[in-house]
C-alpha cells in the first residue's frame, strides 16, 4: 500500500519457458514490492521472432505462471517490449525485472521505455539456474549417453549405495547444478503455515523433477481432496533407483523450491521415505494419500510403497488429465535442439 492507502500494482513480463524456481524467485521479489502482481507472458510467435522458438507452448507457459503462488493475474500475449500503455492498461505502477539485460531481435533493451519513465525496478536474478542451463543439463546427459538410433537415454551409474560410503563422492545425478541452496531461500518460499484444527491433510510423494504442467495439474486435483497439501520429495539417490538413467536432473534442493513455489502446496517433506509409513502418516495426521496415473514403482524390497495407506483405506488414485512427464520434456529438448 502507498501512504495514501492505494494498492500498489506490480507488472512483470517474460517468456517463462520451462518455468523454474529462478522465475518464481523473481516473481516473489516483485510481489514483495507491492500488493498485487500482474505477469505478462509472451506468445510463441513473439518469442520465436526475438530469441528463437520456446520449448513450451504458450498455453503451457500461461498455466505454469498461473500456478506460482505470488502471481495474482496473468496477461496472455504480452508485448515483448514493455510499453507505458501496457502498464496503464493493467493499472500497474511499475515494472519489475531481474538484473540482466533483455534485448529484442534488433538489439533494443526491452525495458527502455519504462526505464526512461522511471517506472522500472530491478530484483536480483537467481544465480545458478536458467532455462538455458536446464536445457544444457539435459543435453549434456543425453549427448554423453544417448545412443544414436536408439530411444534409450540411460547410462550405467555407480550404485547409489556407494555414495554414502565415500565422503568425496559427488552426486552423479546433480553434479552439474550451480545453484547454492540456503535455508533463507527455503524460508522465503515457504508459506510457514501449519494445518488448522480440523483440516484434512493430503499427502503425495514423488520426484517432481523439472516441475512441469503435469505436476501442476496433479497437485491441483490432489489439493481438492482436502485442505492442506503436503508433498514428500525423495532424495536424489532414491529417485535414481526407481527412475534409473540420468534422473533426477534437478537436485533435491532445487526440487524443493520448485514445489514450494506452487500455489497448491502447503508443506514439503525434504527427503521423504519412498515407502509411506505408518509413522509418517501419524506424524502429519494424514487423512488421504494420493498418486497420479503414472506407474507406481515398487520399493527396493519389491513391496508396494503405498501398502500402509491402502491398508488404512486412505489411498486414492487421481487423474491429473495431463500426460506430461519429465522424460517427455527431455525428448522435446532433444528434438528442439536437433
Strands (E) located in 3-92: 9-14, 36-41, 73-76
In 3D space, the residue among 14, 94, 21 whose CA is nearest the CA of residue 62 turns out to be: 14
- Please say whether the beta carbons of 36 and 81 come within 8 A: no
Q: How far is the CB of 63 from ligand C5P (least distance, A)?
A: 13
15 binds ligand CTP (CB under 6 A): yes
Instruction: Return the residue of 62, 146, 173, 218 that touches ligand C5P, per CB under 6 A.
Output: 218
- Segment 271 to 310, residues that bind ligand C5P, using CB under 6 A: 291-294
- Please say whether the beta carbons of 55 and 131 come within 8 A: yes
Tell me the CA distances in angstroms from 94 to 23, 109, 184, 306, one per residue in order: 18, 16, 27, 49
Instruction: Return the residue of 3, 100, 166, 282 that touches ligand CTP, per CB under 6 A.
Output: 100
Q: Which is nearer to ligand CTP, 26 or 320 (CB)?
A: 26
Tell me the CA distances in angstroms from 136 to 131, 144, 165, one per residue in order: 8, 12, 30
54 binds ligand CTP (CB under 6 A): no
Residue 324: contacted member of ligand C5P, ligand CTP, none (CB under 5 to 8 Å, by partner type): ligand C5P
Residue 100: contacted member of ligand C5P, ligand CTP, none (CB under 5 to 8 Å, by partner type): ligand CTP
Q: Which is nearer to ligand CTP, 65 or 289 (CB)?
A: 65
Q: Which is nearer to ligand C5P, 85 or 323 (CB)?
A: 323
323 binds ligand C5P (CB under 6 A): yes
Cβ-proximal residues to 57 (8 Å cutoff; 6+ apart), any chain = 44
For the chain, the maximum distance between any two Cα atoms, rounded to a whole number of angstroms, is 66
272 binds ligand CTP (CB under 6 A): no
174 binds ligand CTP (CB under 6 A): no
From residue 131 to residue 170, the character string flagging contacts with ligand C5P as x (rule: CB under 6 A) and all else as - is ----------------------------------------
Pairing of strands 94-98, 286-291: unpaired
At 304, list the grid cell: 508396494
Residue 130: contacted member of ligand C5P, ligand CTP, none (CB under 5 to 8 Å, by partner type): ligand CTP
Q: How far apart are CA 319 and CA 285, in angstroms?
A: 24
Q: How far apart are CA 324 and CA 210, in angstroms?
A: 11
- Please say whether the beta carbons of 293 and 320 come within 8 A: yes
Determine the interface stretch with ligand CTP among 22-30, 156-164, 278-286, 328-336 (rule: CB under 6 A): 22-30
Residue 15: contacted member of ligand C5P, ligand CTP, none (CB under 5 to 8 Å, by partner type): ligand CTP
- Segment 194 to 213, residues that bind ligand C5P, using CB under 6 A: 204, 206-209
Kind and range of the H or E run holding 174: none
Q: Is the peptide bond before 248 cis (omega within 30 degrees of 0)?
A: yes
98 binds ligand CTP (CB under 6 A): yes
DSSP lists the bridge partners of residue 8 as: none
Q: Which is nearer to ligand C5P, 80 or 218 (CB)?
A: 218
Binding positions for ligand C5P, rule: CB under 6 A: 204, 206-209, 214-215, 218, 291-294, 320, 322-325
Site residues for ligand CTP per CB under 6 A: 14-17, 22-23, 25-26, 97-98, 100, 125-126, 129-132
Amino acid at each position: 500500500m502507498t501512504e495514501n492507502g492505494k494498492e500498489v500494482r506490480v507488472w512483470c513480463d517474460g517468456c517463462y519457458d520451462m518455468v523454474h524456481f529462478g522465475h518464481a524467485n523473481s516473481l516473489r521479489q516483485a510481489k514483495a514490492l507491492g500488493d498485487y502482481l500482474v505477469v505478462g507472458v509472451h506468445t510463441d510467435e513473439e518469442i520465436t521472432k526475438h530469441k528463437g522458438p520456446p520449448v513450451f507452448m504458450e498455453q503451457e507457459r500461461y498455466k505454469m505462471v498461473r500456478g506460482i503462488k505470488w502471481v495474482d493475474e496473468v496477461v496472455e500475449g504480452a508485448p515483448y517490449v514493455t510499453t507505458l500503455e501496457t502498464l496503464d492498461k493493467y493499472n500497474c505502477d511499475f515494472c519489475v525485472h531481474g538484473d540482466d539485460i533483455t534485448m529484442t531481435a534488433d538489439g533494443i533493451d526491452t525495458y527502455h521505455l519504462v526505464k526512461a519513465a522511471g517506472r522500472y525496478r530491478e530484483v536480483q536474478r537467481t544465480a545458478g539456474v536458467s532455462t538455458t542451463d536446464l536445457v544444457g543439463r539435459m543435453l549434456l546427459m543425453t549427448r554423453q549417453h544417448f545412443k544414436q538410433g536408439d530411444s534409450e537415454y540411460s547410462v550405467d551409474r555407480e550404485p547409489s549405495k556407494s555414495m554414502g560410503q565415500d565422503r568425496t563422492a559427488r552426486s552423479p545425478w546433480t553434479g552439474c547444478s550451480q545453484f547454492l541452496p540456503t535455508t533463507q531461500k527455503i524460508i522465503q518460499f515457504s508459506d510457514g503455515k501449519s494445518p488448522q484444527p480440523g483440516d484434512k491433510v493430503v499427502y503425495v510423494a514423488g520426484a517432481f523433477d523439472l516441475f512441469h504442467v503435469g505436476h501442476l495439474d496433479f497437485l491441483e486435483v490432489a489439493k481438492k481432496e482436502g485442505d492442506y497439501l503436503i508433498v514428500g520429495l525423495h532424495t536424489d539417490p532414491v529417485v535414481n533407483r526407481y527412475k534409473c538413467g540420468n534422473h533426477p536432473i534437478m537436485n533435491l534442493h532445487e526440487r524443493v523450491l520448485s514445489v514450494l513455489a506452487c500455489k497448491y502446496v502447503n508443506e514439503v517433506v525434504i527427503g521423504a521415505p519412498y515407502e509411506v509409513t505408518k509413522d509418517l502418516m501419524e506424524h502429519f495426521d494424514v487423512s488421504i494419500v494420493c498418486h497420479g496415473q503414472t506407474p507406481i514403482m515398487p520399493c527396493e524390497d519389491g513391496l508396494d510403497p503405498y501398502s500402509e495407506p491402502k491398508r488404512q483405506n486412505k489411498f486414492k488414485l487421481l487423474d491429473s488429465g495431463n500426460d506430461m512427464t519429465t522424460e517427455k520434456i527431455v525428448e522435446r529438448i532433444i528434438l528442439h535442439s536437433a
